[in-house]
Amino acid sequence: MKLATVAFYGLSLGLLAVGLRELLTGFEENRCSMTYMFEYPEYRRVALPRRVARLYPAYGLYLYGEGVYAQETRALKLTGAPVLFLPGNAGSYKQARSLGSVALRKAENMEAGLHFNVFTVDFNEELVALYGGSLRRQTHFLHESIKAILRLYKHLKTPPQSVVLVGHSMGGVVARALYTLPRFNTNLVSLIITQASPHLAPVLALDPYLLDFYSAVRQKWVSQAKKLRNVTVLSVGGGYRDYQVRSGLTSLPCPPGDPNKLSLVATAVPRTWVSTDHLSIVWCKELVLATVRAFFDLIDPETRQFTENPVKKMAVLNHHFIRHPVRMLGETQDTSISILDFPEAWSEVNTLRLAYSTPKEGQVKYFLFALSSRRKAYSHFYCRSNNLEMTSWVYGCVHKNGSSCVHAVDLSMETELLPPYKVLILSLSDLSSVTHLVVSASNLNGKQFTVECEWQRQASQTLSVPVTHVLSFGLTISDITVNSSGLLHTIVLQHFHQVYQAFRINVASQCKVHKDRLPNVYRIKVPWFREDSLITVSVPSVTEISGMLHTSRPDNTSGVLLQLHTAPNCQYKVSVRTSLPRVLGQILRFCGPMVPVYTAVTLLLACGGQLSSIQKSGRAADMSQVVGKGLQPHKVNLPVFILHILLGCNWFKEVWSLLFLPPMDALPPTFSDATFHEGVVPVEEWPRLLSPLLYLLGAAVAFWGSALLRIIMRLISLILAPLHRPSVSRECGTLQRRTQLLITLSLAVLGGASCGALSLFAAFLLHLYRVLRLQMTERSLSHMLNLAPRKHKEAENGTVDAETLTKSKECNGAPLLSECALQEVRDDLQLHLCLSAVLTLPVMLSAPSLIHWIRNLRYSTQLYPDPCWPHIVPLIIVYMLLINCNTLKLSNSKLLPLTSCLPLPLTIAMVIFSPLHLYRVTYFLLAALVPLALCCLL
């Protein structure tokens, strides 16, 4: 193994490690508060009809309860509004306790006696994100559960007509799949809230059932969007802490203009403002509280059930998840203000800025801002207050009498809640009927707070700075200085609109005069998707902001905005620098599924190189050498790129379709939901441009993975050596033809009767045993001949030079067969080590279905549907035939020249058709291994 090769792949592994570290740990600490149960939680099983229980023995339906409430609902005589929680991939039904407990605690404080009955479904913690065979079964069981829940309310005068669904992870996808069922009544579910659910595409497509399921759900919601407009769906992504399901995948694929579909990230939810990992999004107190508050506002006071009015549902969800105005929904507007008896309560502000702190003693205070003298010079009015009470506070005066306002309209509904204060920005062009603005600073309860307001010229307070190029590697900086004369400044980050860009944004603030100020808020605002992130800092300070995106802007027309809610008379220096580790983390976040494809490409090309070596010299090359040469982007990526260009021509598209070839695979899009038109998914170019880098990372995994395989084989052979008689023949570990046939038939029957992945794993273990026997034989022969250190001249590939070996065999006229046998064993060992690395890939890709079968053994001994059947049969035959394979048979085979040429075209086809369909990797490997197995026979 050359030192340069080791150094090159060591550097490649370092890049991969840096990207993985950034992906898995490069985010803020978990700032979610834990939800706690005040009483012991209980899960009461709900009896289902016998037919349903017989069809779905592994599933169950439960009602959540605590303390007295649990005792009251023992007989399942329910009077609340039904909510059904759906766990996700490997999720427990007990995850509903956070939602159930918080809803129960809040219901105890409600005067009207409103409460919820929180149900939860037990899906047996199935790995549905990796094995899609259970998704359709879960959907049917969910339908039966909803009907069973509604039957529990038949004794009420006004029973609920629908159930609200809360789905976590794949549970949210299953909830939307309900509408694909032919007999599903769409009125049974009118509101779905999903948490970290990958709606756009599966994270990893390891079997065709998963993609078929997604395709059916997507087609239903896009093609029948008009029918489903009354179904309200809210999708919440976890942010950068969730590295399992990136938040871009949680965007709902729906036509533009659908008012009842909302997609957002938890960092943008008012009163939450935190990023959650894939599990904590279920118990994050801030997010659970927002959900429960929305549930109570969705209750119709007359029916005491969830409202069926889609307008009301969207208004409530917008209130709690989008903007959170200070005034509660349904409150009447206070359109008249008149305090004529207290003229001293009114003050007219003639300056450009107001900064007022209320005294400890309670008082009534109003500030008047005349609009007539400001309309031409200013465009907006900005006001903020750290009094976060849910009351109206800014009005537009329509009629003024003396120093007070007689008649006013409430303008507070445009207020936006930020962590330290509430903010209102009014456009003066929209206030044509208003003569004055009125700001209330009354504190009758004696609570102290601060109000700051100013007139603004938005154009002069908006600056632009171009971000550094992604290939600058952090060596260049783009900066800008803001001499704050106002309370709000907006910086447009030009050319920042793609997910592969990542920056370190530093904001340094300093003030000449040190005094108490309201905290500053720095906000990354993304105009095309609700993925804003906020950070609250004091002044002066130096703050680093992570500049990354969950979604791309397809037309590149607008950039990301950095909003600075600043302190007056302070200076802010903003610097932007490309962060290479974060760029690598973003590439792995969005293009990670391509890495295993290129790992398979590298190993398959290494296998082809091994066959070429056997064809030319009759000897197998060292495994590290052939794997090191498996990185060939000029032979793989270049044809793929040329083919992509040709597919842009209409004549080539027609030829492509005439050959009945599937379309080229593309990774899930990074665009937001608004870019989908009638189900057509736009294709992005940048992942193809990054393919050489992804190839490099995949080759690093293949190189060091094969090195790890060699080490493991040596260690296991050392452990097993005392249990086996020493062998000196290359035939060690082989099987007789009759035994091969018997084992092959047995494994095929086993795979058909139980699980195909189990048979494949058993065949793989038999091949590993062959490798172990060769490893033990090689060690035994080396010790016998005392060839450590070896006296013969070695070729560059680690094998004994042919000329030296020939001379050695003819020494003193007597051939030394043991040295020849050692070389033969070493050749076979290198060949089978290379084959083992390739054969490992189908086993790993089929592992999820094997795990699913093992976990469901008590319910069924057969996996249905089985993604490995029936192509598992030729795979088993190939595995068994390759056990007896050796370099002598291959070198004498007439099929070897053809077989050694197959890996390259197959790897090109693998890159074209497998990025989204990872299970296809097994098909291409099988296409390369079948001719190789035939070489052992012909």
By CB neighbour count within 10 A (0-12 exposed, 13-18 middle, 19+ buried), where does 551 fall?
Answer: buried
Which of 12, 145, 169, 672 is catalytic? The answer is 169
Task: At 898, list the tokens.
Answer: 């053809």
What is the SS3 assignment for 234?
strand
Name 140's Cβ contacts closer than 8 Å, sequence gap at least 6: 55, 56, 181
Name 32's Cβ contacts closer than 8 Å, sequence gap at least 6: 274, 276, 280, 283, 284, 285, 286, 287
Residues 299 and 310: their CA atoms lie apart, in Å, by: 13
Residues 663 and 8: their CA atoms lie apart, in Å, by: 35
DSSP-derived pairing of the beta strands 422-427 and 416-417:
antiparallel
Task: At 319, list the tokens.
Answer: 């209130």
What is the SS3 assignment for 305?
strand
* Residue 252: closest CA among 260, 244, 262, 243: 262
Residues 655 and 797: their CA atoms lie apart, in Å, by: 44
Is 309 within 8 Å of 301 (Cβ atoms)?
Answer: no
DSSP-derived pairing of the beta strands 560-565 and 488-494:
antiparallel
DSSP-assigned letters across all residues of 453-484: EEEE-TTTTEEEEEPPPGGGTT---EEEEEEE
Residue 571 DSSP one-character state: E
CA distances from residue 347 to 351, 369, 397, 484 in whole angstroms, order as listed: 12, 9, 14, 26
Q: What are the two backbone dihedrals, phi and then psi, of residue 531, each rounded to the nearest 5 degrees?
A: -130, 30
* Residue 536: closest CA among 560, 557, 512, 517: 517
* Residue 214: closest CA among 226, 225, 224, 203: 203
Question: 427: which strand partners?
Answer: 380
Q: Is 169 a catalytic residue?
A: yes
Residue 870, preceding peptide bond in cis (omega within 30° of 0) = yes
- Ordered strands of the 450-456 beta sheet: 353-357, 450-456, 380-385, 422-427, 416-417
Please state at what angle helix 208-223 crosses helix 135-151, rounded to 10 degrees.
Answer: 50
Which residues are identified as catalytic? Answer: 169
